[in-house]
Structure 1
Amino acid sequence: MSNQSLVVTGQNVLLPGSDQPQPATITVDIGTGKISDIQTVYTQQSPGGETTFIDAGDKFVLPGLVDAHVHLNEPGRTDWEGFWTGTRAAVAGGITTVVDMPLNSIPPTTTLQNLEIKRQSAQGQCWADVGFWGGVIPGNQADLKSLVAAGVKGFKCFLIESGVEEFPCVSEHDLHTHMQELQDQSTVLLFHAEMESDSSSVQSHEGRDPTEYQTFLFSRPQELEVNAISMITLLQEKYRSLRCHIVHLSASSALPVIRAARSRGLNLTVETCFHYLCLSADDIPNGRPEFKCCPPIRSESNRDALWEALIDGTIDCVVSDHSPCVSELKKFEEGDIMSAWGGINSLGFGLSLLWTESKKRGVSIGQIIRWTSEQTAKHAGLSSSKGHLSVGYDGDLIIWDPAAEFKVSKEQFHFKNKFSAYEGMLLNGVVQQTFLRGRVAYDRTQNGFGGLTPIGKLL
């Protein structure tokens, strides 16, 4: 078994530190699942022996993506999503690692016992590797160190109501007790950074049409994000050893606060999402709740500012925040955006979305992979094994056709509930094959998942 290897050669292999692909040949030892050799040459000669040889030709060979913000919802809300469907959607889109959020499953990942329940639910169901975030809620500070010891990658909290009763938001007072508990740990605290204050709050939509996207946009002003991030950076002044991370930044008006915090040496990292970079509020039709998420998709000028912040390094990484639900909760028949569940189904489309948008903005494939693989792996504490095509790293790689074009349709949705804000969009770039530790996890050329079984591990 240990003599078996996968050899992938191509003219366009993305190696670390480069923005553009180059000729290379990568060998993965199937026994260890690790990359054992990289030669910067393209060869059409199979080494023979117990070798699976793949010539990618002019297709791109890329590291598998690491999506560090996914709601898999199992157990408890498995009709919304599950490990089986969610991780299949991931590998079909070139994502070889997902990190699961602590809420929307019942129970949430807020205690060691609840983490165990979740891990048991995931056994044997994962097509991608899966890591877990823990949760910070009022009163669970005594559970945090045991969760760190059990391997959670960090902790998520809300500064505004989360939408599910099992995961209440925390106050500034709560955060002091939790941050004291975590500050000597090798971990990170993630914030859903919207917060109401005396001067700004979630706006009443009384008298406004609940089917209009602008009504929803009006209800969640950018100030909520600015309030939250200002408070987080003040807390960080006291707990400097603890890295804090802003999830799904949508408000460009918070960028000066983030830049100021960084200039003061605060350990603050930031993510944004495919939907904030690839969609604009100016183009969202009324009566279409599939576009609702919190915080909201904002204007075109806001989107441009997020792109600039991503390119200059103010924003570190890009994730999906795949936050699905059953179609009834989306209120499609009424078109009622205000009462619909907020979340965008996107798992598996991120690379194509960013590539399509990036071509208009002069962004390279190397930059995209830095944001969606290298930096997300680093954020989730996985940078010693994921996010790079390097010797000693996991043999997680994808063969990708950058020139292929497709129209997004329900037939391509591998996630459980078949609707998405991206349906009908024309995108570029298609995953041909996904390899996890040197083994095939998805093969479009062989009927997708035909004859395959899930080989993902719990990280």
Structure 2
Amino acid sequence: MKAFDLIIKNGNVVLPHGVEKTDIAIKDGKIKLIKQSITDEATEKINAENHYIFPGMIDVHVHFNEPGREIWEGFETGSFMMAAGGCTTYFDMPLNGIPSTTTVEALQQKIIIGEEKSCLDFGLWGGLVPGNIDELAPLAKGGVIGFKAFLSPSGNEEFEAADDYTLLAGMQEIARLGKVLALHAESGPMTVFLSKQKEVNKQFSADDFAETRPIVAELEAVERALYYAEITGCSLHFVHISSAPAVEKIRQVRQKGLDITVETCPHYLLFTHDDLIEKGPVAKCAPPLRSKEERSKLIEALLEDKLDMISSDHSPAPFELKDPKTHHFLNAWGGISGGQFSLLSMIELAIKHNIPFEKIAEWTAMNPAKRFNLESKGSIQQGLDADLAIISLENNQQVTPESFFAKHKQSLYMDHTFPCQIIETFARGKLVYQANKTTIPQANGAWLR
């Protein structure tokens, strides 16, 4: 019997302490050996000369919409799309399925679908909505990674925003359960009030939409949640933070010892409000893309290590829900379809801003693994899962309908060219994506309780 299943040779391996040219040996889905010039026999050997090997991305924020809205995106197409972007683990959000994941029954339904269809390992968020406080303990026991709540309307009638009582009572219960609450932090009263004013005045432009969701709305919601966390002791994870003032407020409170993490998304780091104007509703998201000046401040906050992780918030929808011929900016679906491009985006930023690749690996893999207790994942180390992305810096990768593997091909990223290319992705040692190949691999993903 051969010593290893796979040896990847001569790669520039992104290790926790830096990049080293070395070999990686894999057996039974695990990294068994990392050293220069492994000469043992293996079932397969790959020469990764001149390529970089990153730990597979862990994306803790995607929307695959099953059950009930598979036409938007499902576990099969969604997981393959993520694999094509060098992602090997993802967490699916609870709100866009029918039913939403706010009960144990809904959770069990989603688990079955995910295990039948996903080619990648996955976790599942539960939901905190008005009226389901008693469901939180059963959901926690059932294996959810944590809970998600909205402080402003979610856009989905099945998943209501949490009022103040629900938020406080829910946070107290989530603290008791030892779980994390992920928050969409925008002030509901502010955004609803401003949106109604725009509708009355028939003001539906890109500028009008941005004005309904100002930075102060994000800041107010963040501050309120932080005060509630002090009272309840609840661990928080702020999703898709878009502004430097919100990041700074979170940083200040974390210094008091509260258990809080914060993510931002690649679209806030690569694109701006000008792209919303140019590309139309396909670039609409909430919070909205900010000004060039605010983008620069957010990048600076990232460089100063004030953010913990990068997540895609892949939020797809059929194009008819974003079509500018039938929808203006206020009523078009809000969400960026782009889960395939997070790691590529961060490598582009690394090249532009001289960010060490080990920092990119920390934001995209190590920190998510630490935050959500994925002990077998998050970095390239002996004994951990062989979750790997092999990347070329010699080739560019342009986003085209043919190279984008989401169910719907319209995206803010369309026509963007990255200064790098995903060559291969391995999930627990199995090849799940190879450049220029469009065959969806066999579903082999495991649900991560």
TM range (shorter): over 0.9
**What is the CA–CA distance in structure 2 between the aligned matches of 1:126 and 1:5, rounded to whole Å?**
23
The answer as to 2:269 corresponding to 1:277 is yes
Q: Which residue of 1 aligns with 2:118?
A: 126
Aligned-pair CA distance for 1:83: 0.3
- Give distance in 1, aligned partners of 2:446 and 2:25: 21
Instruction: Note the alpha carbon deviations across 1:332-385, whole angstroms, 9 max, x for none.
Output: 324622210000010211122222233222222221111111112223331x11
- Residue 430 (structure 1) shift: 0.9
Does residue 230 of structure 1 match 2:220?
no
SS class of match (2:363):
helix
- Aligned pairs for 1:23-34 (under 5 A) are 23-30=21-28, 33-34=29-30
Q: Which residue of 1 aligns with 2:380?
A: 389
Give the aligned partner of residue 244 of structure 2.
252
1:303 equivalent in alignment to 2:277: no
State the match for 1:457 in structure 2.
Answer: 446
The change in CA–CA distance for 1:101 and 1:200 in structure 2 (over 3 A counts) is: closer
SS of 1:359's partner is helix
Aligned to 1:106: 98
Does structure 1 residue 8 correspond to structure 2 residue 8?
A: yes
Q: Matches of 1:234 and 1:167 in 2, distance apart? A: 24
What letter matches 1:232 in structure 2? Answer: A
SS at match of 2:8: strand
Letter in 1 for 2:105: Q
Match of 2:163 in 1: 171
Residue number among 421, 428, 431 corresponding to 1:437 in the alignment: 428
User: Which SS does the other structure have where 1:404 is aligned?
Assistant: coil
Question: How much does 1:47 deviate?
Answer: 2.3
Letter in 1 for 2:231: K
More helix by share: 2
Q: Deviations over 1:13-46 (max 9, x none)?
A: 111232xx2112111112xx2211211x2x3x75
Kept after mapping to 2: 8 A contact 1:4/1:51: yes
Match of 1:219 in 2: 212
1:257-283 Cα distance to aligned partner (Å, 9 max, x none): 212211222211110001111101134
| 2:31 corresponds to which of 31, 35, 52 | 35
Counterpart CA distance in 2 for 1:123 and 1:17 is 34
Q: How far 1:201 sits from its partner (Å)?
A: 4.4
Look up the match of 1:58.
50
- The one-letter code of the counterpart of 1:407 is Q
Change (3 A) 1:343 1:2: farther
Measure how far apart 1:124 and its partner are: 2.3
Asked if the contact 2:83/2:432 (under 8 Å) is kept, the reply is: yes
Q: Which moved more, 1:79-88 or 1:435-444?
A: 435-444
CA contact (8 A) 2:2 2:43 kept: no
Q: CA, structure 1 residues 53+283, in 2 after alignment: closer, same or farther (shift >3 Å)? A: same
Given the alignment of the two structures, is residue 183 of structure 1 paired with residue 175 of structure 2, yes or no?
Answer: yes
Tell me, in whole angstroms, the C-alpha distance in 2 between the residues paired with 1:78 and 1:162.
19
1:329 aligns with 2:321: yes
Change over 3 Å in CA distance of 1:199–1:319 after alignment to 2? closer
Structure 1: which 4+ aligned runs deviate by more than 6 Å?
A: none
Q: Cα 1:283–1:115, aligned 2, differ >3 Å: closer, same or farther?
A: closer
Question: Which runs of 5 or more structure 1 residues have no equivalent in the other structure?
Answer: none
Distance 2:191 2:342 in 1: 36
Q: For 2:191 and 2:10, locate their aligned partners in 1 and report how far apart those are by CA, in whole Å.
A: 57
Q: Secondary structure at the match of 2:301?
A: helix
Note the C-alpha offset of 1:208. 5.6
Distance 1:129 1:260 in 2: 35
**TM-score normalized with structure 2 length:** 0.95
Separation in 2 of the partners of 1:331 and 1:76?
Answer: 22
Name the SS for the 1:184 alignment partner: helix
Question: The residue matched to 1:113 in structure 2 has which SS?
Answer: helix
RMSD between aligned residues: 2.0
Cα pair distance change 1:398/1:208, threshold 3 Å: same
Q: Residue 227 and residue 407 in structure 1: after superposition, are their counterparts in 2 closer, same or farther (change >3 A)?
A: same
Deviations 1:226-277 (A, max 9, x none): 111111111111122x311111001222233212211222211110001111
Alignment of 1:89 with 2:87, yes or no, is no
Count the aligned residue pairs: 446
Task: Tell me, in whole angstroms, the C-alpha distance in 2 between the residues paired with 1:77 and 1:207.
Answer: 33
Q: Is the 8 A contact 2:238 2:262 kept in 1?
A: yes
